[in-house]
Amino acid sequence: MARPSRLYLLAYNSLQAIGWSVAFLRLLACLAPPVSVDSAYAAAGDLICLLQTCAVLETIHAAVGLVPTSPFLAFLQWGGRTHFVLALLRQIPEVQDSPSVFITFMAWSISEVIRYSHYALSTIKVCPAWLTYLRYTAFIPLYPIGVGPGEMWTMYQALPFVKERDLYSGFFAKFSMSYHSFLVGVLLCYPLLWLKLYLHVFKQRKSKLGKADRKKRA
């Protein structure tokens, strides 16, 4: 009989995989006329905001030892994405129809469908080798695409609107700075923070795929 923790992880990862699959299909529909990529947020934005918010559970999973992941790295990824969709994108309608939003959402949805499917099937030990390979290979092009022409370009486009509206002025006044200054700082630090996550997944790739190769040779 499966342990409750395993059943919980199976349910959580399966629901996330289904949710991101729906988001991916909605984004694909944006490529078919008369719809355009400019409608990516309208098509899948609310769903992605929900899925990303729920992903805070992954930080808790790591913190309590439910999964062998660094709580700091889990929080770093969750915090970066959640800030992007809730604090920035959801609050500035003018950038929601940018092609960079479509690029971001598409890169996220493809990688998350693969990642959560892999996690769910690995939980019950029936994950096929091709999916494991895809999990630790697809990120190589998807992560840079999602971050560069996706997230960072969207944040850059949002800067004039953030400054004009003085967003979150009440909160940031406590730190003698503005959200605009904070966002500029985030943009400057983003490549370094992202690189830390990117290299971490490369280490995972070497470990997981190397282990699979050793099993084949055994």
Q: DSSP 3-state assignment of 92?
A: coil
What contacts 20, CB < 8 A, 6 or more positions away? 51, 108, 109, 112, 113, 116
Q: What is the pLDDT of residue 1?
A: 41
Mean pLDDT by 10 residues, the chain (218 residues): 84 98 97 92 97 97 92 91 96 96 98 97 94 95 95 97 95 94 94 87 87 56
Q: What is the pLDDT of residue 196?
A: 84
- Residues 31 and 132: their CA atoms lie apart, in Å, by 29
Which of 201, 202, 204, 194 has the alpha carbon at shortest distance from 84? 194
One of 12, 116, 119, 143 is an active-site residue; which one? 143
Place of tokens 């997981």: 208
Phi then psi for residue 97, to 5 deg, are -100, 15
66: which DSSP letter?
A: S
Contact assessment for residue 51 and residue 23, using Cβ atoms and an 8 Å cutoff: yes
For 64-178, where are the alpha helices, taking DSSP H only? 71-82, 99-123, 129-135, 139-145, 153-165, 169-172
Could you state, in order of their start, the residue ranges of all structural domains in the chain?
Answer: 3-217
Which of 87, 95, 101, 91 has the alpha carbon at shortest distance from 26? 101
Contact assessment for residue 133 and residue 209, using Cβ atoms and an 8 Å cutoff: yes
For residue 143, indicate whether it is catalytic: yes
Place of tokens 């929080």: 75
One of 41, 136, 151, 179 is an active-site residue; which one? 151
Answering whether pTM is above 0.95, one says: no
For residue 151, indicate whether it is catalytic: yes
